Amino acid sequence: MKKTVAIIGGAGYTGGELLRLLVHHPNVDIAYVHSNSQKGKYIAEVHPDLIGDIELTFTDRVEVNGLDAVFLGLPHGETKNFLSKHNFDPKTVIIDLSTDFRDESDGFVYGLPEINASKIKTAKRIANPGCFATAIQLALLPAIKSQLVKGSIHISGITGSTGAGKKLADTSHFSHRNNNLSVYKLFTHQHLKEINQTFLEISPKFDHELLFVPYRGNVPRGIWITAYFKFDGNLEDALKLYKDFYSNATFTHISTNDIDLKQAVNTNKCILHIQKEAGQLVIHAAIDNLLKGASGQAVQNFNLAFGLTEEKGLKLKSIAF
């Protein structure tokens, strides 16, 4: 049951990760990979680790017919314009990795499988969540839905440099990132919008502050989240709540032991660890920002949309050490 797919914007980090997953996906044939900046080049020239895996070249032409699915890896703000110029068949599943449709406008479904799997299974347009948004929501969804939160939620998050994209900037150079940490977009990160949207959907009376401190980390990939809020209950009940909530989640796991980032890097997992300290419920979350936070989750959504098991093409090995 092969599905014919295309990738639009395949030269960047998320496009490269999609290629690494899809070339080995048993139910995928890649029709073409689009890139204006790399047109005519062999894909393995731009993504050298794919040597021997794919012989296609990048194209700047967009074919809208004959596709079962198209993955859009365009820069934020460019997808709406792209879709206005290219009319894909209504039967083609469109999976967008940008911020453009995470508000579920224009018929898009928000693609967080842990809460929207049933919608994703019938969707033709899927808006992939942001990387920080994925980790923060998975850390807090059970608590929000069960109305455990009675006040402000404090969140700190560290992201790898690949989260800034492939285009170089002052804060993504090795010389800046290495042996360094810095805060950016204090309390104003753009992913808070989609997080609040989800929280209001599952708990309509939710009105608590999300005090989010994002850090630029000195690792290339991965996201670490620590979230906490005042909690009068006991840890055992909280653990049961989380385990029950994610009992059918293919990739979200609760660990009763301390966790570390490398457990999740190079996988599509979200690994959670819960503590109660000083009257606070503390939730730690670890994901790979390019996989569960982007391309891996996009493939997970593809699998759901085509009736495949969620782990198809996503049985990946963590780097561990």
- What is the set of active-site residues? 131
Q: How far is CA 116 from CA 36, 112, 113, 219, 278, in A?
A: 33, 6, 5, 31, 34
- Phi, psi angle pair for 34, to nearest 5°: -95, 140
Cβ–Cβ contacts within 10 Å for residue 79, how many? 23
Q: Is 198 exposed, middle or buried (0-12, 13-18, 19+ CB in 10 A)?
A: buried
122 token code pair = 């019938």
Q: Spell out the residues 6+ positions from residue 226 whose beta carbon is closer than 8 angstroms to its own.
A: 155, 156, 157, 282, 283, 284, 285
Closest CA to 196 of 250, 149, 242: 149
Distance CA 227, CA 281 (A): 8
Q: Residue 31, SS3?
A: strand
Spatial distance between the Cα atoms of 137 and 139, rounded to a whole number of angstroms: 5
CA distance 199 to 227: 15
Number of H helices, E strands in the chain: 9, 14
